[in-house]
C-alpha cells in the first residue's frame, strides 16, 4: 500500500521549521540558494522532457527491423552511457567551438543532460516494450493492425506502466545530475551553495539546506511517478 504524501511531508516540514529555528543565519545565504534553485529547475524540466522523447525514439530504434536504425540507436546508447556526463558537458561547451559549433552554457547543459539520461531511458523503454506479453503482439498481428496503431494503442500504453518506476528513478538521477552544470559556468543550486560557503563559511547550514532541497525535489518526482503509475493502471483496468 502506498504511503500518503502527508506521512512524509509532515516530518519534513517539522525538520524545516526546526532548522530555521536553530540556524538564524539561513537568511544570509537562502536568497542566493533560491536563485540557484531557479536555474536548476530551468535546466531540469526541459531536460526531463527531452530525455523522455529521446528515450522513446532510441528505445524503439533498438527494436526496429531496419538494421541501420538499430545500429545508430545502439551506438548512441553505448556512447552516452559509457561517457561521463561531466565529459559530455565539457565536449559540448568547450570542445565543439574548436570545430566551429558554439552554443550557450544553458543549451550545452540542456543537451548534455538530456542525451546522457536519454541513453539510460532508451534501455528502460526497450526492456519495457519487450516485457509486454507476446500474446499482445500476436493479437495485433491476427487483427492486422498497422504498426503505428499497434504501438500507440496497444504496446506502448502497457509498456509505459512497466517503465514508470525505472523512469522515475532516472528522473531523480537527472535532477541530481544538474549539479554538474556549474562546469559550464551556470550557477545552479549546488554552485550557489559552494559560492555562499566561500563567502560566509556557514558550511553546516549551507550544505544541510542543499541536501534538504534536493531531497524535497526528489520526493516531488517520486510522488509524481506514483500518481502517473496509478493513472495508467486505472486507465488500463489493472489492479
Residue 4 DSSP one-character state: P
CB 73 within 8 A of CB 129: no
Longest dimension (CA), the chain: 69
Among candidate residues 41, 79, 78, 73, the one with its CA nearest the CA of residue 55: 73
At residue 30, φ and ψ (nearest 5 deg) are -60, -40
Distance between CA 62 and CA 74 in Å, rounded?
Answer: 6
The Cα–Cα gap between 7 and 21 comes to: 22
- CATH code (residue 46): 1.10.3720.10
The label of the residue with cell 538499430 reads 70
End-to-end CA separation in angstroms for the chain: 12
pLDDT tens by residue, the chain, 239 residues: 445 555 556 566 656 655 554 555 676 787 888 899 999 999 999 999 999 999 999 999 998 888 899 999 999 999 999 999 999 999 999 999 999 899 999 999 999 999 999 999 999 999 988 888 777 777 777 777 776 777 777 777 788 888 889 999 999 999 999 999 999 989 999 999 999 888 888 888 888 888 888 988 898 899 888 888 888 777 665 44
**Model pLDDT, residue 236:** 64
Q: Work out how many domains the chain is built from and give that number.
A: 1
The phi-psi region of residue 162 (left if phi > 0; otherwise alpha if psi is between -120 and 50; otherwise beta) is alpha
Q: What pLDDT was estimated at residue 239?
A: 44
Record the cell numbers describing residue 30, joined without a space.
Answer: 537562502
Q: What is the reported pLDDT for 18? A: 54
Report pLDDT for 149.
72
Give residue 84's region: left, alpha or beta (phi > 0; psi -120 to 50): beta
Burial pattern 137-147, b for ≥16 Cβ within 10 A else e, equals eeebeeeebee
Range of the domain at 14: 5-235
Find out whether 128 and 159 touch, Cβ atoms under 8 Å.
yes
DSSP three-state, residue 186:
coil
Phi, psi of 126 (to 5 degrees): -60, -45
pLDDT score at 116: 95
Amino acid at each position: 500500500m502506498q504511503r500518503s504524501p502527508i506521512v512524509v511531508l509532515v516530518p519534513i516540514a517539522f525538520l524545516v521549521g526546526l532548522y530555521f529555528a536553530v540556524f538564524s543565519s539561513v537568511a544570509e545565504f537562502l536568497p542566493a540558494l533560491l536563485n540557484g534553485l531557479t536555474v536548476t529547475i530551468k535546466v531540469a524540466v526541459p531536460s526531463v522532457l527531452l530525455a523522455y522523447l529521446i528515450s522513446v525514439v532510441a528505445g524503439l530504434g533498438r527494436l526496429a527491423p531496419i538494421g541501420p536504425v538499430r545500429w545508430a540507436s545502439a551506438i548512441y546508447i553505448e556512447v552516452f552511457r559509457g561517457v561521463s556526463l561531466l565529459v559530455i558537458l565539457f565536449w559540448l561547451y568547450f570542445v565543439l567551438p574548436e570545430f566551429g559549433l558554439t552554443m550557450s552554457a544553458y543549451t550545452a547543459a540542456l543537451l548534455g543532460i538530456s542525451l546522457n539520461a536519454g541513453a539510460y531511458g532508451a534501455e528502460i523503454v526497450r526492456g519495457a516494450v519487450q516485457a509486454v506479453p507476446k500474446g499482445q503482439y500476436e493479437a495485433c498481428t491476427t487483427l492486422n493492425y498497422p504498426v503505428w496503431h499497434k504501438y500507440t494503442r496497444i504496446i506502448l500504453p502497457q509498456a509505459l506502466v512497466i517503465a514508470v518506476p525505472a523512469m522515475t528513478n532516472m528522473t531523480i538521477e537527472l535532477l541530481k545530475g544538474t549539479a554538474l552544470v556549474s562546469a559550464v559556468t551556470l550557477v545552479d543550486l549546488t554552485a550557489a551553495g559552494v559560492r555562499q560557503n566561500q563567502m560566509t563559511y556557514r558550511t553546516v547550514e549551507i550544505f544541510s539546506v542543499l541536501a534538504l532541497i534536493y531531497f524535497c525535489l526528489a520526493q516531488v518526482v517520486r510522488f509524481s511517478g506514483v500518481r502517473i503509475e496509478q493513472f495508467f493502471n486505472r486507465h488500463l483496468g489493472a489492479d
